[in-house]
Structure 1
Amino acid sequence: MESPSSSSSSSSSTRSEQYRNWLELPRDVTASILQRLGAIEILESAQKVCMHWRNLCKDPSMWRAIDMRNHEYWDLDHLEKMCRHAIDRSSGQLRDISIEYFGTDDLLKHITHSSSQLRRLRLVSCYHIMDEGLNEAAAKLPLLEELEITICLFSKEPLMALGRCCPLLKSFKLNRQGIRSVHIECDEEAVAVAESMPELRHLQLFGNQLTNDGLNAILNGCPHLESLDLRRCFNVNLSGDLGKRCAERIKSLRRPDDPTDDYEFAAEIDDGGSFDEDDPSGMSDIDYVSLSEGYGHYEFSGESDLSYDDFSDYDFYDFGDYYFG
């Protein structure tokens, strides 16, 4: 018969095997796990767990990709400071960055001045980035291969600048919401793409107001296109010769009325028939309200407990319940 002490020892051994020490994982495995959290979770939570994780989170290689997409109630100034801190930690190794809601001209300048090797840039609902800011940034992105601009308001000039300054650009997403109730036609963005981005392989124009003329310009100016997403582009009619041309040229074609189940944002708005004819984007005041209601612009009643102005690199001794020597 097994003695009580033997049984207790066996049980303890079993528990030890079930609950392995995460600190014993190889460094590259731990890094891979942490990188899946995203920049916000790393800075706000993961790096506080222990000194081993903190030291790993300060490695520049951890910040080659910075995902600052945000679906919570946040102080946008706090997010921008956090993003700058993450960019500084990359020590020039940044290749891929996604920012949502809190982008500004100054932040974009900081990104381009700090990251000469940037390959992918994703801007979502960044209403505080102006044409001038994007124009200036374009000149510092010669290696850019993928660009996404979603629910932002830019004229054709910065788009032309991006095309001219980013000769390696292969994938471009310029997305809005589809508007069925108002007939607005605008081919300026399509023409900008056609005239300045001849090497594109993948193009998404979700909710764009281009017409068949704009689409023909794209097909003429972008001969290497392999995929084209025209969902909610309600001014495009793909019947007849144009539809046949697209089918013959494009390997992966998403048509205006194709399903939007895999689209990350709300697909359509109904603006009630009001728009500003002086706005080349076709976006009215009511559209701005609809976008902010549908895409998470929030009111904040208080400041975060953490002040990035007070600390240069999170190297402080008392952070909540954690101690860093």
Structure 2
Amino acid sequence: MVSSSRTAPGRGRNWAELPDDVTASILSRLGAIEILTSAQMVCVTWRNICKDPLTWRTIDMRVDLDDQRHIHYDLEKMCRHAVDRSSGNLIDINVDIFGTDELLKYITDSSMGIKRLRLAHCYDITNEGLSAVASKLPLLEDLEISYCSFSHEPLEVVGASCPLLKSFKFNNRWYRWPREESNDDALAIAGTMHELRHLQLLGNKLTNDGLRAILDRCPHLESLDLRRCFNLKLGGKSGRRCAERIKKLRLPDDPIDNSELVDTDIDYGSNDEDNPSTFPDVDYMFDDDGYEFSSGNDYEDNDMDDYDVYPWLF
């Protein structure tokens, strides 16, 4: 009788039978929260792969605010747990919302090989906190800071401490009114980040003077995203210089077409008293029901207790 590898009719696929490299590829498409709260409990094989330090070379802790499950976790503790699992192999990490000075220090103390760091909505990371860890990021090549509260001062420290930095995103919410001008960020970048190839400055307050400083001092720049930088006047010499030098240029009025950047698109209207600006309220509404994990899997491990699975709940 000729054997067949096809799944018999009516029989579900046994995910534990997948080759380890295929399973690892599947898990790499999940975020750290999904791995720690769900994937590692599918079966013993998946659990073993989820404990492999190489699985944690990339830690994606981005939070979906529409998913109510995250409110039941200590996300900072969960992130530390993921960093511990990397055993120093961490090279790429995303931290959303819950980032603090202490967490950033823990991450950088645990791995000196980080090449990519993304911080978004991390209002509890201070200028001093970011400046303090910059020297621990000598291999950093890609840095994204979006919707945080940093000034230009830690940017100067990061630029001076991270000579390999090739890509920098420094994004802010934009306002048409009131119009404020500042080239502090631009001058910090121009003064220290001379090896940049890619720069994104959504919603920045820079003027043409700041833009000229960047173009003068960042000679390798290939892509430049200036969307929502409404203080820029690019109809003359500055615009022509950008068009001639930059291979991929996004202009202030170009549309925001990336879902991650949608919350920068805030127009508070004019300052006309007859049409007052309104500030959007953010109201997170959650019910009181707890989230329960399904026990309908084939995972059995007598050496593991609840704390081993959910240490961030205790």
Normalised to the residue count of structure 2, the TM-score between the two structures is 0.84
SS in 2 for 1:228: strand
Instruction: Show the counterpart of 1:316.
Output: 304
Instruction: Show the counterpart of 1:107.
Output: 103
1:23 maps to 2:35 = no
What is the letter of the counterpart of residue 267 of structure 1? T
CA-to-partner distance for each residue in 1:160-213, whole Å, 9 max, x for gaps? 000000000000000012211211101100000000000000000011111001
Partners of 1:194 and 1:321 in 2: CA distance: 47
Q: 1:319 to 1:152 in 2, by over 3 A?
A: closer
Partners of 2:288 and 2:11 in 1: CA distance: 43
CA-to-partner distance for each residue in 1:100-134, whole Å, 9 max, x for gaps? 10000000000100011000000000000001100
Q: 1:89 to 1:320 in 2, by over 3 A?
A: closer
What is the letter of the counterpart of residue 111 of structure 1? I
Q: By how many angstroms is 1:263 displaced? A: 4.8
Instruction: Show the counterpart of 2:231.
Output: 235
CA-to-partner distance for each residue in 1:258-316, whole Å, 9 max, x for gaps? 11122523232234679xxxxxxxxxxx99x75x73xxx8477879889xxxxxxxx63
Partners of 2:214 and 2:270 in 1: CA distance: 29
Q: 1:303 to 1:18 in 2, by over 3 A?
A: closer
CA contact (8 A) 2:194 2:217 kept: yes
Structure 2, gaps ≥5 residues long = 272-276, 293-302
SS in 2 for 1:266: helix
Q: By how many angstroms is 1:150 displaced? A: 0.1
CA contact (8 A) 2:80 2:106 kept: yes
What is the letter of the counterpart of residue 270 of structure 1? D
Q: By how many angstroms is 1:247 displaced? A: 0.6
Partners of 2:227 and 2:133 in 1: CA distance: 29
SS in 2 for 1:15: coil
Structure with larger RCO (C-alpha < 8 A, sep 6+): 2
Partners of 1:221 and 1:185 in 2: CA distance: 21
Trace 1:1-325 onto structure 2 (pairs within 5 A): 15=8, 19-71=12-64, 72-73=67-68, 74-75=70-71, 78-264=74-260, 265-271=262-268, 290=280, 293=282, 298=284, 316-318=304-306
Q: By how many angstroms is 1:155 displaced? A: 1.3
Structure 1, gaps ≥5 residues long = 1-9, 275-285, 307-314
Partners of 2:289 and 2:143 in 1: CA distance: 32
Instruction: Show the counterpart of 1:281.
Output: none
CA contact (8 A) 1:207 1:231 kept: yes
Q: State the identity %.
A: 59
CA contact (8 A) 1:190 1:215 kept: yes
Partners of 1:25 and 1:318 in 2: CA distance: 27
Higher-Rg structure is 1
Instruction: Show the counterpart of 2:297.
Output: none
Query: What is the total number of aligned residue pairs between the two structures?
Result: 287
Normalised to the residue count of structure 1, the TM-score between the two structures is 0.81
